[in-house]
A and B are shown apart, each in its own frame.
Chain A
Amino acid sequence: METIQNKAAADTSEITSEMALVQAAKKGDLEAFSQLVQLYDRNVFRIAQHITHNEEDAQDVVQEAFLKAYTNLDQFQGNSKFYTWLVRIAVNEALMKLRKRRTGKTVSLDDDVETEEGAMPREVADWSPNPEQIYGQTELGDILKKTIQGLPPGFRTVFVLRDVEGLSTEETAETLGLSVPAVKSRLLRARLQLRERLGKFFNSRKGGDGKQ
C-alpha cells in the first residue's frame, strides 16, 4: 500500500525529473522537451477544449502553447512549476482563439462574472443515489459538456483548472493572474451553477410530476 511518505517521495522525484528535463530543454535538448510534451499534452488539450469548445482550435492551442513554451524557456525562472507556467501560456492562447471566433466581441476572464446567477441555490431537491448511472457514457459526456459550456469563460476556466485538473487555489490564481479570493469566489459560483444545471438531469424526482 502506498504510504503518504512514499507519495511525497514520488512527488519530489517527479518534480526533480521535471526540472532536469526543463534544464536540458533550455540547452536545446529536443528529446527532453519531447518528454515534457508527452507529460502534459493531454492536459493542455483538455483545458483548451473546455475554453474554446472547438477541437480544431484546441489542437492549434496545444501546438502554439508548446512552441511558445520552447522558444521562451529562458524566461522560465523555476519559481513556479513548469506545468503551471505552461498552463498560463495555454489559457492565454485559448482565450485568443475564442476572441477570434467571436469577432467583434471581446472575451476575457472577467466576462459575466458580475452576474448574480448561481449565488443562491434555487433548486434543493436531492439527486438520485447514482446519478451517472441514469445515463450511458456517451449521453453523460454530452450532458456534462453542454452544462459546463453554459458557464461564462471566467467561471469554467477556474473550475476546470481547480477541480478537473487539480491545481491548487494558489496555482490557479497564479496561472490566471487573479487574486486568491477572486479564484475562491468564482469557484464557488461555478460549482453552484453547475450543480443547479446538472440537477435538471440528476434530480431524484426526474420523471415525476415535479411535486414532492
Chain B
Amino acid sequence: MSNPRLPESFTDLEPLADVWALATETERNQQRLTSTMTQIQAFYDTMLPRMEAVLTYLGQFSIKYPPEPIDALPEEAQRLLYLSLAMAEVTTAVELYQQPGVPDGFDPRRFIPDRERMKR
C-alpha cells in the first residue's frame, strides 16, 4: 500500500498521524521542537485518552530482537506505532517542561542517536 492508514478503530487520529507518524527519533524530535506548545498540547490531549486502547492494540504484536522489529509489523500497525512513539517523544514537553524543548538544554541536534547510523 503506497498510502498507509491507521487501523480501523483509530482512524479518528488520522489528521495527527499525517503530522506526527514519523519513522525516526530525529524526525519526531524535530517535529516536537518546531511545533508550538499549543500544537504539542493538542496532540497530547487528543492522544492521551486513546493511549490505553492504542497500547492494548500494539500489545498484540510480539517482536524479536535482533533485528529491529518495526518493519515486520503490518503497515497500519506500524503507522500507529510511529504515532505512539511521537506521543512518547512529546511527553516530557507536556508533563515535565511545559515548553517544546528542554529548558536551557544542550542542543539535541548535537546529541546524535547512534542507532540511526549504526549498521545492523
State yes or no: do A and B come from one complex. Answer: no
Residues of B within 8 A of A (CB): none
